[in-house]
Amino acid sequence: MGMKAKVALGAVVGIVVIGAVSANAGSDGKDGGSGGGDKGSSASAEHKSGAAKDSGGAQKSDAKPEEKKAAFGGDGEYQVGTDVKPGTYRTTGNDDGMCYWERAKDASGELDSLLANDNVSGTSYVTIKPADKLFKSSGCQDWEAVDPKAKGTPASSMDGDGGMFKVGTDIAPGTYRSTGNADDSCYWERTKDAGHGLDSIIANNNVTGTAVVTISPSDAYFKTNDCGTWKKA
């Protein structure tokens, strides 16, 4: 069993990760998403096809068939460029923390091949880059492609264990407050992208008691795990 470290602005707090040692030294990437009662809209666009009735009263579509997004299963190893295209993907509904994903620079399986990884509760967004060679996923719900142009209705509260939320789509920018955090297992993170590297982190912290954080409109994602419900102040 490996160890994954969460960076807490100068202090490193270790937590257990199933599977491997994190290459992102900090929950790098919990790229939070929406998936739970209080969460915002899906980051994937919803398309509705129009329909008209023919003379017999039957429904017939007047819209062109919708092009399917690239997607892949939550269990497997995928070669980038062959099995899965580079891009940003999302998995939702992981409620037990056993979802594990990994970006790798080769298929050796060795520790130094890791580019980034994470264990996920709730939702995760991950950007698979063209230079990546392999993407591994275990115990996760299926991954769906994220439309970068998708619009949502940002929420003003979020599940404190919801994972990753896309700012401006899932969750609105602003100052949020979480209460009832009994120990420092409450972890939050503001990120500039979904790469899950150390350079993705804008700010983060492990919190005991009440947590207050301002999510900027320029932030890309907000991650939260083991915290109380966040509500906009």
Q: pLDDT for 138-148, tens place per residue? A: 999 999 999 88
- More reliable by pLDDT, 7 or 88: 88
- One-letter identity of residue 215: I
- 42 pLDDT tier (thresholds 50, 70, 90): very low
- pLDDT tens-digit series, residues 86-135: 999 999 999 887 899 999 999 999 999 999 999 999 999 999 999 999 99
- The pLDDT value given to residue 220: 97
Is the pLDDT assigned to residue 183 strictly greater than 70? Answer: yes
- More reliable by pLDDT, 55 or 103: 103
- Residue (of 201, 209, 226) closest to 10 by Cα position: 201
Q: 43: exposed, middle or buried (C-beta count within 10 Å: 0-12, 13-18, 19+)?
A: buried
- The pLDDT value given to residue 163: 96
Q: What percent of the chain has pLDDT over 90?
A: 63
Mean pLDDT, the chain, whole residue set: 78
Is the pLDDT assigned to residue 203 strictly greater than 50? Answer: yes
Is the pLDDT assigned to residue 200 strictly greater than 90? Answer: yes
Number of alpha carbons in the 13 Å side-chain half-sphere of residue 211: 28
Distance between start and end Cα atoms, the chain: 39
- 69 pLDDT tier (thresholds 50, 70, 90): low
- Sequence length of the chain is 233
- How far is it, in rounded angstroms, from Cα 159 to Cα 60? 40
Q: 26: exposed, middle or buried (C-beta count within 10 Å: 0-12, 13-18, 19+)?
A: buried
SS3 (DSSP) at 184 = strand
- Strands of 62-111, DSSP E: 71-72, 76-79, 87-104
pTM value? 0.71
- 40 pLDDT tier (thresholds 50, 70, 90): very low
Residue bearing tokens 């060795």: 110
- How far is it, in rounded angstroms, from Cα 149 to Cα 147? 5
- The pLDDT value given to residue 47: 31
